[in-house]
Structure 1
Amino acid sequence: MADRRERFETGMKTRRAVLGDTYVDAASARMTPLDEDFQTFITESAWGGVWSRPGWTKRERSMVTIALLAALGHDEEVAMHVRATANTGATPEDIREALMHVAIYAGVPAANRAFKIVNKTLKDMKTEEADKA
């Protein structure tokens, strides 16, 4: 049990570092008894396991994650992870290169849709940043 608890704590720390406190706090507040086990599983496995492994930087993991989500057509998750690049260090140029791979290996329609999502998300992020200033 201590191993799972450690993975959860590591996962929550990594999740907050990548997605930001605001996002994680909101996601935690939306948690219900129905999805509590699922949220714990994601925190332990994805964030405490895969995202916390040594070997790749958060920037590298961010680029691969965006490419995979785009290839699979998970639009909301693409947008969420594009927002996370503010914390991971992946640049718009990194995202472009990841989506070029998506075009070749997963298809032009998948990349085309992802480019639309990325452009909108980056524009929204700029607007939000300007509004803060």
Structure 2
Amino acid sequence: MHQPAQDSARYREGLAVRRSVLGDAHVDRASKASTEFDQPFQQLITEAAWGTVWARPGWSKRERSMVTLALLAALGHGEEVAMHVRATANTGATREDICEAFLHVAIYAGVPAANRAIKIAKEVFAEMDAQGDNAK
């Protein structure tokens, strides 16, 4: 399989942004779990999502976090919703911000999608509170 270009500037920038948003522990786990099969995917998301989109100027990490949560909720991607709710501890998006994003989801993408996302967020908040790692 293809060997990643982990020395590219976009990859390095993407990795730094990914770590700043998701945290070192998450990125280290994903890296450790990566295999030859999914390495091209890991390179793609690191360069494209993190090194291109999340690294763009103009929007703060808080704003990108809110939009990302709304899109993931609207599309029904529960695991990703949970991951990005946890990431708000690093992006500055508050629980009120998340609530507002999910209210938009309810109107523009449907109440069931927002209801599921709210349920997931409440579970993640409970975990974060129990660990003392909470974004207010």
TM-score range, shorter chain: over 0.9
The counterpart of 1:27, out of the listed 20, 27, 30, is 30
Question: How many pairs were matched up?
Answer: 128
Report the Cα offset of residue 12 of structure 1: 0.2
Structure 1 stretches of 5 or more lacking a match? none
TM-score by length of 2: 0.92
Per-residue CA deviations over 1:88-116 (Å, capped at 9, x if unaligned) read: 00000000000000000000000000000
Matched AA of 2:82: A
Residue in 1 that maps onto 2:87: 84
- Give the aligned partner of residue 59 of structure 2: 56
Q: Distance in 1 between matches of 2:128 and 2:40?
A: 31
Query: CA offset at residue 128 of structure 1?
Result: 1.2
- Runs (4+) of structure 1 moved beyond 3 Å? none
- Listed one character per residue, the Cα deviations across residues 68-87 of structure 1 (whole Å, up to 9, x for unaligned) are 00000000000000000000
Aligned-residue Cα RMSD (Å) equals 1.3
Partner residue of 2:103? 100
Q: In 2, distance between residues paired with 1:123 and 1:90?
A: 17
Report what 1:111 is aligned to: 114
Structure 2 counterpart SS, 1:55? coil
Structure having the higher helix fraction is 1
Q: For each residue in 1:44-75, what CA deviation from the matched residue of structure 2 results, as whole angstroms up to 9, or x when unmatched?
A: 00000000000000000000000000000000
TM-score (norm 1): 0.94
Q: Percent identity over the alignment? A: 65
Gaps of 5+ in 2: none
